């Protein structure tokens, strides 16, 4: 497995990570825990060293799953988790509001350490920017946790340029996690240039468009009412039908490269920046192996030019988030 460093930090990880959210959150029905433990351990065996979770995924049970699965590999893998939400006190799924107050960050860190069965959190992201708490206070609190040896690296998720700069001025930001793929390219305008300038790594989530870029979803696909995609404008039947043109493009390139659409989508991302590490999620061993195959696909400058030229003519239909969630991004 090829390795990459996240920005100018010394945090080296596999070129592809594994997003674990869907194992317990957002995309029901959920598999058996034992099967996901086996999948995570299979990922380690295949060379993946970068695993992404968060306390809100479940809540809590995703961290518990990742902690149990990776306990035999302490010191060999990098685990990223996140803080920043008030969770339902009754134990229900979801969250009741943002909370990045310093005392809350500390509480989350201590609880996450126990659930993950580790001595220090490798990468601790603010999950969403909390406008009620100055980002300098957030960065300063994580800096204190780093000094205490409880956290190794600080990250931000879905933050805007101004927030990134202000946070980085207090405590080096190792990585920004945000959505980025061939069907969501907004980070190219402002985010990527700032990350490059400051030496911050980029961790694209949903690099396969929440499954759409695999080519396995069309307008006839049905989602459970509790599946997050059932609330996403981009996933209405009419928008899925309209957006099929992107799958057609990926399929054309895939045939030339003896690959799959998903592999081309991931290979395209990997070709964008050497400090970029996508974290596709999966719950199936064959998909895991398929995704990893993207690392060995070489897209030439001509290939990339052809893809970009064709993609520029495609207007993706539908917002990537419902309005309530969209308000929490880019702040």
Residue-wise pLDDT for 129-157, tens only, equals: 999 999 999 999 999 999 999 999 999 99
Residues 174 and 153: their CA atoms lie apart, in Å, by 6
For position 131, what pLDDT does the model report? Answer: 98
300 confidence band (pLDDT: 50, 70, 90):
very high
Non-local CB neighbours of 277 within 8 Å, separated by 6+ positions: 4, 6, 13, 14, 15, 16, 17, 50, 175, 201, 202, 203, 204
- What is the CA angle 256-189-326, rounded to 5? 100
What is the pLDDT at residue 93? 74
Q: How many residues does the chain have?
A: 331
- Output 91 or 191, whichever has higher pLDDT: 191
The mean pLDDT of the chain is 97
Closest CA to 136 of 150, 156, 117: 156
Q: What is the pLDDT of residue 88?
A: 81
**Domain-wise residue ranges, the chain:** 3-326
Contact yes or no for 319/183 (Cβ under 8 A): no
pLDDT for 90 equals 73
CATH of 3-326 among 3.30.465.10, 3.20.20.100, 3.40.50.300, 3.40.30.10: 3.20.20.100
- Catalytic (active site) residue 57: yes
- Per-residue model confidence as pLDDT tens digits over 233-281: 999 999 999 999 999 999 999 999 999 999 999 999 999 999 999 999 9
- Catalytic residue of the set 57, 60, 180, 321: 57
Are 266 and 205 in contact, with CB atoms under 8 Å apart?
Answer: no
Q: How far apart are CA 245 and CA 241, in angstroms?
A: 8
Alpha-carbon gap, residue 176 to 310, rounded angstroms:
28
Which pTM was predicted? 0.97
pLDDT band at 312; cut points 50, 70, 90: very high
User: In the block, which residue shows the tokens 């609880």?
Assistant: 111
pLDDT digits (tens, 9 = 90+) for 105-118: 999 999 999 999 99
Per-residue pLDDT band at 122 (split at 50, 70, 90): very high
Q: pLDDT value at position 89?
A: 77
- How far apart, in whole angstroms, are the C-alpha atoms of residue 320 and residue 131? 22
pLDDT value of position 150: 98
C-beta neighbour count of 41 within 10 angstroms = 14
**157: which strand partners?**
177
Contact 81, 116 (CB under 8 A): yes
Nearest partner of 254 among 263, 241, 242, judged by Cα: 263
Instruction: Give DSSP secondary structure letters for 131-173.
Output: TTS-HHHHHHHHHHHHHTTSEEEEEEES--HHHHHHHHHHS-E
Q: Tell whether the model's pLDDT for residue 216 goes beyond 80.
A: yes
In angstroms, rounded to a whole number, what is the distance separating the alpha carbons of residues 312 and 245? Answer: 12
Residue 304 has pLDDT above 90, yes or no: yes
Mean of the pLDDT values across residues 225-239?
96
Q: Residues 80-99: pLDDT tens digits? A: 999 999 998 777 777 889 99
Q: Given the structure tokens 């468009």, which residue do they identify?
A: 209
Euclidean distance between CA atoms 202 and 200, whole angstroms: 7
Q: Give mean pLDDT, residues 313-327.
A: 96
Angle at which helix 135-147 crosses helix 102-116, to 10 degrees, equals 40
For residue 85, the cross-strand partners are 98
Cα of 292 vs its chain's centroid, Å: 16
């Amino acid at each position: 497995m090829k390795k990459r460093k996240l920005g100018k930090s010394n945090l080296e990880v596999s070129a592809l990570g594994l997003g674990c959210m869907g194992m317990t959150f957002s995309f029901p029905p959920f598999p058996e825990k034992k099967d996901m433990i086996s999948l995570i351990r299979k990922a380690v065996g295949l060379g993946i060293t970068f695993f992404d979770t968060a306390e809100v995924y479940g809540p809590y049970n995703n961290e518990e799953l990742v902690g149990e699965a990776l306990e035999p590999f302490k010191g060999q893998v990098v685990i990223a988790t996140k803080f920043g939400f008030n969770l339902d006190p009754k134990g229900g799924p979801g969250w009741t509001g943002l909370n990045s107050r310093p005392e809350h960050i500390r509480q989350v860190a201590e609880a996450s350490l126990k659930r993950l069965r580790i001595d220090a959190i490798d990468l601790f992201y603010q999950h969403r920017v909390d406008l009620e708490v100055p980002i300098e206070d957030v960065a300063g609190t994580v800096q204190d946790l780093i000094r205490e040896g409880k956290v190794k690296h600080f990250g931000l998720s879905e933050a805007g340029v101004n927030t990134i700069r202000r946070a980085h001025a207090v405590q080096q930001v190792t990585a920004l996690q945000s959505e980025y793929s061939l069907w969501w390219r907004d980070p190219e305008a402002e985010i990527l240039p700032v990350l490059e300038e400051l030496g911050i790594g980029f961790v694209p989530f949903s690099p396969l468009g929440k499954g759409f870029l695999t080519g396995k979803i069309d307008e006839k696909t049905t989602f459970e009412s509790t599946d997050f995609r059932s609330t996403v404008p981009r996933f209405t039947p009419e928008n899925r039908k309209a957006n099929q043109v992107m799958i057609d493009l990926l399929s054309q390139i895939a045939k030339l490269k003896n690959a799959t659409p998903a592999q081309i989508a991931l290979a395209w991302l990997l070709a964008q920046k050497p400090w970029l590490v996508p974290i596709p999620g999966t719950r199936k061993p064959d998909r895991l192996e398929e995704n990893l195959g993207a690392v060995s696909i070489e897209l030439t400058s001509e290939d990339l030019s052809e893809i970009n030229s064709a993609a520029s003519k495609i207007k993706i239909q539908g917002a990537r988030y419902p309005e309530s969630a969209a308000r929490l991004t880019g702040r």
